[in-house]
Amino acid sequence: MSTVYALLFIVATLVMLIGLVRKIVQYAKTPAPLKIPTTPAPVTQTGVVLRMFREVVFFESLFKSTKWTWIFSWMFHMGLFAVLARHLRYFMDPVPLPIQLLQPIGKYAAFAMVAGLVGLLVRRIFVDRVRYISAPSDYLWLLMLMVIGLSGLMMTFVVHTDVVMVKQFFDGLFTFSGGALPMDFALLVHLLLVAVLMLLLPFSKLLHIPGVFFSPSRNQVDNPREKRHLAPWAKKLEES
């Protein structure tokens, strides 16, 4: 079983990394022929960077749009960030001090993550306009992330999985020295769903993670009067 999971995570990691790099390159090469920043927009590049920071960290536009969705979405994303930061200890030796200090925060941030997911799922079910535009995959993503979070909480607070063996297993993946996984049901479910998430990420709506940085409505300076916006392909036509 440990060998199966090792092969699964190697394949999942390669698929995720190659898929994400491919998509990022595609986003970077996609022409943006129009100046379309969502107004009111910053008129300097520094302002664009600050706006993007507020959007990525605080979900500024979502906060202005709907407070309830913002609350649940921010809880989920910030909880997920803390949980992922806590999980870095499984891939580092020695563990850096900032990651050590995050351990108690990440331990309880999983509750915020799951609570945010529950709120987003309830919103999709009971808000008519959201339910109307929801596809089956939208529900499946939320449910899968909830099971990942709940299984992680179970390992932390109920069954107490041997994390030393888990760390040795993932260290073995990098050094190709092998390692055994604890045969805990919660751990096996948790890791299986994480691997599925990694495999599907480059082909799903989760591509908004890198995609937000390439959104013309967010990353453009609002200066159409001061500077003519000319896409590279249009420059070639003009020169010819």
Question: Model confidence over 68-111: pLDDT tens digits?
Answer: 999 999 999 999 999 999 999 888 888 889 898 888 898 899 99
If you average pLDDT over residues 55-63, what whole number do you get?
94
Distance separating the N- and C-terminal Cα atoms of the chain: 62
CA atoms within 13 Å, Cβ hemisphere of 111? 6
pLDDT digits (tens, 9 = 90+) for 195-204: 999 999 999 9
Query: Residue 42: pLDDT band by 50, 70, 90 thresholds?
Result: very high
> pTM of the prediction?
0.87
Number of domains in the chain: 1
pLDDT digits (tens, 9 = 90+) for 105-154: 988 999 999 999 999 999 999 999 999 999 999 999 999 999 999 999 99
On whether residue 145 sits in a domain, the answer given is yes
On whether residue 30 sits in a domain, the answer given is no
Q: Residue 134 sits in which domain range?
A: 2-25+58-208
On whether residue 33 sits in a domain, the answer given is no
On whether residue 84 sits in a domain, the answer given is yes
- pLDDT at position 21 over 90: yes
Ordered DSSP codes for the chain? -HHHHHHHHHHHHHHHHHHHHHHHHHHHHS---S--PPSS--SSHHHHHHHHHHHHHH-HHHHHH-HHHHHHHHHHHHHHHHHHHHHGGGG-SSPPHHHHHHHHHHHHHHHHHHHHHHHHHHHHHH-HHHHHT--HHHHHHHHHHHHHHHHHHHHHHTS---HHHHHHHHHHHHHT--------HHHHHHHHHHHHHHHHGGGSGGGHHHHGGG-HHHHS-S-TTTS----HHHHHHHH-
pLDDT digits (tens, 9 = 90+) for 187-235: 999 999 999 999 999 999 999 999 999 998 999 999 877 777 676 777 7
The pLDDT, as a whole number, for residue 229 is 67
On whether residue 219 sits in a domain, the answer given is no
On whether residue 14 sits in a domain, the answer given is yes
Q: Are 20 and 210 in contact (CB under 8 A)?
A: yes
On whether residue 179 sits in a domain, the answer given is yes
Question: The domain that contains 98 carries what CATH number?
Answer: 1.20.950.20
Q: Is 109 exposed, middle or buried (0-12, 13-18, 19+ CB in 10 A)?
A: buried
On whether residue 39 sits in a domain, the answer given is no
- pLDDT at position 174 over 80: no
